[in-house]
Structure 1
């Protein structure tokens, strides 16, 4: 029987995600053998992707689904932990401000880290919301640029494009005024 690579990968993932049951270990069916092989492939893939310290946490487990669940709980946390992380990150995003001694690129990076962490937890955040939050945190000297960018429409700009516009304005200001503000 000829199998395609896509279907093998799907079978490996299915064994990893939903586990399998062998009813009679002394009389394995074709499906039992395939499930065991997929489990072995999944385990080998996981083992090759982790370091020895992480391996120590999972070496007692025989099934890929159990390994995957333990790794999820260890690194992503339980649903309660994820919910708490989400709550904290949302609070950080809504109360986000530029620090007094912080440069604009550093502030933008700090904002991006919060946004990426939120996205990793499944939160849907629009680019225009990120750009808006970034613009609202800028010092007062960016008031006119902020208004122009917002009037022009944030939906058409990525956050990085907004950062570029702000940095262009800052560079122009420094060159014309001879003052370094950040």
Structure 2
């Protein structure tokens, strides 16, 4: 039973002997704006005005319809208030209603910002400029929001609710700026943003579901269900007290462990056994096959992470990162062994030129800036400047013991054509043709 009494609607629902009454109050008051969360208020105000009278919304967006008249000469001029007819009064009345509605929706501080505005459109546009900025500021905000959208990813140990809350703030802000995304784009973006522990679930969803038909809310429900069933239960089982398990095994009153608990127990027990073996170190009674073997140098009595050779190599890399210049500190053994030839030291002259060629390649491609060589913009360096360097080739021969003829011979015997020689003003110049890591600005050099 429904009764209308003034501005109230009374509905009675009778079930047996119980009567429940509901009172619904009708209110035409617009959503209130106190200077915060403008985008939220803007959307609410938009639909509120449209629900009251769509013509009012057109007045706010397009401006008032001013009564005009056309003279005999065809000139259109505004009518005076005395010349208004009933239709003209209704047009003016719409603007007054829209202005009144906006006044009722803002506080005193916001009113002082728009008090000089005469029409509803002026008030609406002024509030938009104040809280959203000009077109340029709006574009900058859009760029920042787009960057946040592209860089968005799930944080470690973050829940699905927290992740979706952060992501919703971004997409809602973009929607307020009239930058919208389809449901499929949002679904794919969320799946790409999940951490590694979600990899299995992402694969299952991608293969079993049609992502083009899945909605943003449906994806959230699937991920929430998976998180409750799998993720949270798995994290609880990771922390295991080995002592409690050993006590439970000795206790006659305790039943057998579950499969998951037993797996964790065995894993922890193996860790303890490995630690015990490692603490024994170099026990002379143990045979070599019982000792641990390094996977790097294949020596016994230490693991790979304790390998002295590996630590030495790591230290050398760290020194290079710190800006040091170990000109002659790099390992030349492999290159030196290669230059000695297959006959164990024979044909030394050929190996000498080959070692010189290798050293020139390294200097011209990678070390010219470190050695402070005067390199031209096209990559050429004076041969005499190279021969003055205090370095040794891979054949352990000082660079200063070589001469210009040796350099010519190295270039001539180079089958890969890695060098170019020119002579200018009686001075011989050389450059590397490819594979530079130093910054050289010349157009004729062929980069590999």
Deviation track 1:5-54 (CA, whole Å, cap 9, x = no partner) reads x9x93443333322343513353322442232111101111111222221
Match of 1:145 in 2: 201
Match of 1:9 in 2: 53
**Map 1:115-154 → 2, pairs under 5 A:** 115-151=171-207, 152-154=209-211
Measured in 2, the distance between the counterparts of 1:105 and 1:113 equals 12
**Of the candidates 21, 31, 49, which is equivalent to residue 66 of structure 2?**
21
Mean Cα displacement is larger for which, 154-163 or 105-114?
Answer: 154-163
Measured in 2, the distance between the counterparts of 1:72 and 1:78 equals 8
Measured in 1, the distance between the counterparts of 2:132 and 2:55 equals 24
Match of 2:226 in 1: 169
Structure 1 or 2: larger helix share? 1
Measured in 2, the distance between the counterparts of 1:117 and 1:50 equals 22
SS at match of 1:156: coil
SS at match of 1:115: helix
**Map 1:97-112 → 2, pairs under 5 A:** 97-100=153-156, 102-112=158-168
**Of the candidates 139, 146, 155, which is equivalent to residue 90 of structure 1?**
146
Runs of 4+ in 1 over 4 A off after TM superposition: none
Mean Cα displacement is larger for which, 24-33 or 103-112?
Answer: 24-33
**Of the candidates 169, 184, 193, which is equivalent to residue 113 of structure 1?**
169
**Of the candidates 44, 66, 69, which is equivalent to residue 125 of structure 2?**
69
Cα distance change on mapping 1:162 and 1:36 into 2, 3 Å: same
Measured in 1, the distance between the counterparts of 2:110 and 2:190 equals 37
Measured in 2, the distance between the counterparts of 1:71 and 1:24 equals 30
Cα distance change on mapping 1:42 and 1:104 into 2, 3 Å: same
Question: 5+ unaligned residues in a row in structure 1: which ranges?
Answer: 1-5
The TM-score with structure 2 as length reference comes to 0.36
Given that 2:155 and 2:195 are in contact with CA atoms closer than 8 Å, whether structure 1 keeps it comes out as: no
**Of the candidates 101, 104, 112, which is equivalent to residue 45 of structure 1?**
101
SS at match of 1:154: coil
Match of 2:249 in 1: none
Count of residue pairs brought into register by the alignment: 174
Match of 2:42 in 1: none
Following superposition, the deviation at residue 134 of structure 1 comes to 1.3
Given that 1:15 and 1:35 are in contact with CA atoms closer than 8 Å, whether structure 2 keeps it comes out as: no
Measured in 2, the distance between the counterparts of 1:177 and 1:54 equals 51
Question: 5+ unaligned residues in a row in structure 2: which ranges?
Answer: 1-49, 68-77, 239-448
Measured in 2, the distance between the counterparts of 1:28 and 1:14 equals 25
Structure 1 or 2: larger strand share? 2
Match of 2:369 in 1: none
